[in-house]
Structure 1
Amino acid sequence: MVDEVEGQGGPSPARQSILTDPLDELDAQLNRLRSVADELRGSRGKPVLAGDQVELIEDGPTLLRTYERLQEDAQREVRVLDRPPYVTPPSSQQQLELDRLHAGVGYRAIYGTEVFESQDIMGVLPELQSAGEVSRVLAQVPMKMAIADDDTALIGMTKRSAGDYHLLIRSSGLLDGLIATFEMLWALAIPMPALPFNGDIAGLRPADRDILLLLAGGATDDKISRHLRISPRTTQRRVRALMESLGAQTRFQAGVQAARRRWI
């Protein structure tokens, strides 16, 4: 009966929200970007979209100049997805962001948890936060990206190295999709712990480090139990104890806090 009703009038709004997975939309967006990049690489200099809306950038110096120009041209806000590797040390870009923040340009940045292992980026984040950058953390950042206002986006297309190839995307439906992607990830991310952070935990067992690593990666209790070969009851007890000790409201927050304190 339910199928008959839906067939006559279409899925209900609630049913439609279940059928439309935001992560599926993200995958489709990334596949489209890769297709555009491959076409650009094959045609070298010929626009894929009308009006030179997409430009391929393959060398490091051009990439750095483009990224700096994107920030300098922003009038309202720069939105960033960030993760290693880096073309140049993050500290080399710190002053430009500070200047733009002091000029009244807002910055929102989503960092992958890998940044906790980068001494350079962790060295500049406290000053950027103090100057006004609003930072969040996400376990899986799908790509590197910077968006200036609603006008231009610069994205990296691969994970292999910092300088594989990038796309500069100007006003288009593709840019609108990237902006929507950022906002979706922003809603999923959690606030970056205040930096610098000082603290310690008593009684951290060797196995707890492995549990925290798996939590940061989004593992379920069942997966942790199987991976570490401990009982589900022991897993649940240790996860609860670690979350309480870290003051974390969610499992992912526990992983982030542990990474920040360099326990993992």
Structure 2
Amino acid sequence: MDPLDELDAQVARLQVVAGELRSARGKPVLDGNQVELIEDGPTLLAAYEEMQRSCREQIRALDRGPYSAPPASQQELELERLRDGLVYRAIYGFEVFESEEVMAVLPELRAAGEASRVLPQMPMKMVLGDDNMALVALTKRAPAECHLLIRSTGLLDGLIATFEMLWGLAVPMPELEASGDVAALRAPDRDILMLLAGGATDDMISRRLRISPRTTQRRVRALMDALGAQTRFQAGLQAARRRWI
């Protein structure tokens, strides 16, 4: 099964569990209370902080829009844990390039050691703490409509495997300037890749998408670097193979 389809199926199963938890308030749904329903921001924030502080090896995250700037305490906590040697791996949806708030903090996080990759479509938000815990958002609205805190090994195994498959499909985040130069990355990237695959020149892309020639060149270069492509045609081909277009 396609990893994105598998992830959708896992979310559907977790939504069923969330419904059971709502119906059985105060009663265990799974042995050992391995799944907890979180429906308010402060509890979610506390759970995420606890996860980061308790992890010994790595944090793995799927992040999608709508984005908001992480609280200063969360940014500082990630930087602190990165200095401690904790590994952070994050996969972002393409819409991250449209968020000035997130793009303003990513350069510092990446400089500190966060490994970041991108996919054109990210169906959900999820954070994995080592192989022991997961926070999974069950709605596409942000930031704290409904989350599950999962400690069940059985449920976690599928989420971990899916993350690793998506990590293999994603490509490294283009290099970001420390100044937070978002303009070079806030592009209709899928449209650019489709035009590249069709053999369009920079001038054709610029006129078709109504963006400046200089911005077009910078965006094309960033996408080629992200895809590891030596030529424009290779960039379009790689994007198609990875289902970016």
TM-score for the superposition, normalised by structure 2: 0.76
- Is the Cα–Cα contact under 8 Å of residues 90 and 124 in structure 1 kept in the other structure? no
2:58 maps to which residue? Answer: 77
Map 1:194-213 → 2, pairs under 5 A: 194-196=175-177, 212-213=189-190
Map 1:1-264 → 2, pairs under 5 A: 20-85=1-66, 89-196=70-177, 212-214=189-191, 236-238=198-200, 246-247=220-221, 248=224, 249=229, 250-251=235-236
Deviations 1:105-124 (A, max 9, x none): 10000111111111111111
Assess, with a 3 A threshold, how the Cα gap between structure 1 residues 181 and 199 changes in structure 2: closer, same or farther: closer
Q: In structure 2, what residue type is equivalent to 1:178? A: L
User: d(CA) in 2 for partners of 1:120 and 1:167?
Assistant: 26
Q: In structure 2, what residue type is equivalent to 1:158? A: T
User: d(CA) in 2 for partners of 1:48 and 1:239?
Assistant: 58
Assess, with a 3 A threshold, how the Cα gap between structure 1 residues 161 and 214 changes in structure 2: closer, same or farther: same
Point out where structure 2 has 5 or more consecutive residues left out of the alignment. 206-215, 230-234, 240-245
User: d(CA) in 2 for partners of 1:214 and 1:129?
Assistant: 27
Assess, with a 3 A threshold, how the Cα gap between structure 1 residues 239 and 142 changes in structure 2: closer, same or farther: farther
- Is the Cα–Cα contact under 8 Å of residues 90 and 120 in structure 1 kept in the other structure? no
Assess, with a 3 A threshold, how the Cα gap between structure 1 residues 127 and 46 changes in structure 2: closer, same or farther: same
User: d(CA) in 2 for partners of 1:199 and 1:142?
Assistant: 23
Deviations 1:15-50 (A, max 9, x none): xxxxx4434323321211111112112222322211
Assess, with a 3 A threshold, how the Cα gap between structure 1 residues 90 and 193 changes in structure 2: closer, same or farther: farther
- Is the Cα–Cα contact under 8 Å of residues 144 and 156 in structure 1 kept in the other structure? yes
How many residue pairs were aligned? 212
Between the aligned residues of both structures, percent identity stands at 56
**Which structure would you say has the larger Rg?**
1
Q: In structure 1, what residue type is equivalent to 2:107? A: P
- Is the Cα–Cα contact under 8 Å of residues 111 and 135 in structure 1 kept in the other structure? yes
Looking at both structures, which has the greater relative contact order when contacts are Cα pairs under 8 Å and sequence separation is at least 6? 2
How far the C-alpha of 1:187 sits from its partner, in A, is 0.9
Assess, with a 3 A threshold, how the Cα gap between structure 1 residues 46 and 101 changes in structure 2: closer, same or farther: same
TM-score for the superposition, normalised by structure 1: 0.71
Assess, with a 3 A threshold, how the Cα gap between structure 1 residues 120 and 141 changes in structure 2: closer, same or farther: same
Point out where structure 1 has 5 or more consecutive residues left out of the alignment. 1-19, 202-208, 222-233, 255-264
Q: In structure 2, what residue type is equivalent to 1:195? A: L
User: d(CA) in 2 for partners of 1:69 and 1:130?
Assistant: 24
Deviations 1:155-193 (A, max 9, x none): 111012312110000032101111111111111111001
- Is the Cα–Cα contact under 8 Å of residues 68 and 101 in structure 2 kept in the other structure? no
Q: In structure 1, what residue type is equivalent to 2:36? A: E
Secondary structure at 1:126 match in 2: helix
User: d(CA) in 2 for partners of 1:199 and 1:161?
Assistant: 22
User: d(CA) in 1 for partners of 2:90 and 2:27?
Assistant: 32
Deviations 1:57-85 (A, max 9, x none): 00101110110110000000000111233
- Is the Cα–Cα contact under 8 Å of residues 91 and 121 in structure 1 kept in the other structure? no
How far the C-alpha of 1:251 sits from its partner, in A, is 3.6
